[in-house]
Amino acid sequence: MDRPALDALALAYVARFATSSGRLAAYLKRKLRERGWAEDAPPDIPALIARMAERRYLDDAAFSAAKGESLRRRGFGARRIDTALSHDGIAEPLRSAARGNETERRHAALAFARRKRFWPYSGERCLDPVMRRKQLAAYLRAGHGLDHVRRVMDAASLSELEEWADEYAEDALE
């Protein structure tokens, strides 16, 4: 592979997929390992990625915000979002913004309960200690903080949880 082929490969990748600079770099390095490099000078992948970002084909901030929002809607917590974005090569300041604010994290915990049909979406409270431990472990694997998980699992009703999820937003507005 030579420089024009590498440029074309990078352009085809960003045209097809929403991606980050870290993911694009990993993809190009893998393709170089598979196909080899035909030129004497080594490929300048950081310069290629900088050109893609300069032309606005890559935007790590937009990518991290969209992926963070998508994961929160699916019920994943801040730690899981941070891990996913770290894997994609996103820098810490952008990962921090993508984790969401307190209200968004609380709503993500409720979305996870809804998706898994845990209390209060199951219809009845889980009192079995073994099942509670399993549900707690599932919340923690999804990246939720222990304080949010306990609040959701110990709530008396869905309306109480909805008020809890929105109370931080109301305090921020005042």
pTM: 0.84
Domain that holds residue 142: 62-173
Residues 6 or more apart whose CB falls under 8 angstroms from that of 53 comprise 21, 59, 60
Q: Are residues 120 and 137 in the same domain?
A: yes
pLDDT of 98-149, one tens digit each?
999 999 999 999 999 999 999 888 877 777 889 889 999 999 999 999 999 9
One domain for residues 52 and 72: no
Distance CA 145, CA 152 (A): 11
80 shares its domain with 161 = yes
Go through 1-15 and write b for each residue having 16 or more CB atoms within 10 A of its CB, e for each that does not. beeeebeebbeebbe
From CA 111, how far away is CA 35, in angstroms rounded? Answer: 44
Domain count, the chain: 2
Regarding whether 71 and 51 lie in a shared domain, the answer is no
**Residue 48 and residue 70 share a domain:** no
For the stretch 7-32, pLDDT in tens is 999 999 999 999 999 999 999 999 99
Last residue of a domain, one of 25, 43, 58: 58
- Smallest CA-to-CA distance from 85 within 27, 138, 144, 21 is with 21
